[in-house]
Amino acid sequence: MDERQMGIQIEGKIERVNGKELSYNEFVAKYLAKNQPVVLTGLMDDWRACKDWVTDTGCPNLHFFSTHFPNSRVQVADCGVREFTDQKRVEMTVKEFIDHWAESNASDGDSKSLLYLKDWHFVKEYPEYVAYKTPLLFSDDWLNLYLDHHRMHKNSDSDQENDEISCSDYRFVYMGAKGSWTPLHADVFRSYSWSANVCGKKKWLFLSPSQCHLIFDRNLKNTVYNIFDNVSEETFPGFKKAIWLECIQDQNEIIFVPSGWFHQVHNLEDTISINHNWYNAHNLSWVWDLLWRDYNEAKGYIEDIREICDDFEALCQRNLAANTGMNFIDFVIFLVRFFLANAVQVCCHHRYEIPLWSASKLTERIAFNLASIQKIAVKMKSTESVIGNHRFFLDVNETMVDPEFVKLCIDVSRTYGRIHESENRNRDMENALVVDMLDYGSSICSIEDFVEFINDVVAKLGNICSEEKVLLTTLDG
């Protein structure tokens, strides 16, 4: 397929870098903070998946999956059938999917639809099978660290046991035959993502956020589905002006997809990939902007029933959670817990007499994290009147002694210990929480409460960590 014949403008290439020679701080400065894509090599050499999941000829080891994980129920996209803004999804077992794939290969695909296994929560389903280790460059992953210990959204109306896996994390396995593909989209929550090709080859087409308005229709509601279709200039008047980046991703290469970049992906060979979505302090603003936009969209759809609705705002928040994966309250509780988890790092360093200024990059990281959460909280405070009486309650004291929150703090400590090669103490983390943090106790029932709580904690951190005043300058500024 010649993209230029299809009216697609392609200019430039995505940088390809040896990941072994890239430090974490260099990755942050060049790609994460600048929100730029990159292809990384050399980071998959010791992955079990690259041995078990690949045959000696470099093809997907379908027999391994059908014998080791045959009964897993997975979501499979029919690449030939559009359903709303995505491909039609069906549910089947892994063995059924593999059998379909094998039959398609035997018949050269003539009699079988092209299916693409997507969003398989493999890590959660098989924690004892360590297929890979998340590369250090992608380890500051607040989304999956959080979901390892807390649910993002609890729907009291429809909590079901069989939903436990499907909403548990954003670590996925994808499997598809040559020709399978994913329509144009930007990732969930406008998160970062990384995608590692265990075997096979993919073609990626990227559009930077500065040009994304060009792929929306006149009403700014819907985007182009397939950039290789004959796209209507009347419906999408800016489409032909878009300038795309193209990237061919080979086996054992990982591609970093920044926030808000729309992309379309085609499997040029039979392919297996491992994908993560994640966010952290660098792209929290993208997450909030998406929530705010989706909230207003969800509200607009039901505006005509406002007068007859007992709690219109509560309905808006329920719809937002259903459409986006979380609502304002979920996001605030997430921010509270991560603010506390970062504040705990300061207290524990102080308790064990490890001055943060002795590890300047770690100091900068914690200060940046706290400041980013504070900025989002202040932005959310301006929406307090919108949320109205739809309040929540979070007891800080109870949070601090919650065993799952303690585990979250330990995971955060270990992560930053690895990233910044700093001394890492977590053996007495629970005691440190009780001694150093319980006097911060209060309840948070609104975004305004949260902003006040942040200010109070920052002041107390300044009192107990006077030698680390550098930590507070980012927040005070």
Dump pLDDT digits (tens) for 387-441.
555 567 899 888 988 999 999 999 998 999 899 876 555 555 555 554 455 456 6
In the chain, % helix, strand, coil (3-state, to 5) comes to: 45, 20, 35
> How far apart are the C-alpha atoms of 121 and 172, rounded to whole Å?
5
* Helix pair angle (360-381, 403-420), 10° resolution: 130
Using a cut of 0.75, tell me whether the model's pTM lies above it: yes
Which residues are within 8 A (CB) of 220 and not within 5 positions of it... i.e. 6 or more apart?
213
Q: What is the pLDDT of residues 183-194, one digit of tens each?
A: 999 999 999 999
Question: How much is the pLDDT for 154?
Answer: 74
Is residue 161 very low, low, confident or very high in pLDDT (cuts 50, 70, 90)?
A: very low
The answer to whether 81 touches 74, Cβ cutoff 8 Å, is no
What contacts 24+ positions apart, CB below 8 Å, involve 418-424?
418/136, 418/139, 419/24, 419/136, 419/139, 419/140, 419/365, 420/24, 420/359, 420/361, 420/362, 420/365, 422/354, 422/359, 422/362, 423/354, 423/359
Angle at the Cα of 168 from the Cα atoms of 221 and 224, rounded to 5 degrees = 20
Rounded CA Rg of the chain:
23
Angle at the Cα of 299 from the Cα atoms of 296 and 304, rounded to 5 degrees = 140
Q: What is the pLDDT of residues 309-360, one digit of tens each?
A: 988 888 988 999 999 999 999 999 999 999 999 988 887 766 655 555 445 7
Question: How much is the pLDDT for 428?
Answer: 55
The yes-or-no verdict on residue 149 having pLDDT over 60 is: yes
Nearest to 156 by CA among 39, 12, 297, 317: 317
163 versus 455: the higher-pLDDT residue is: 455
Angle at the Cα of 1 from the Cα atoms of 42 and 190, rounded to 5 degrees = 55
Q: What is the pLDDT of residues 171-185, one digit of tens each?
A: 999 999 999 999 999
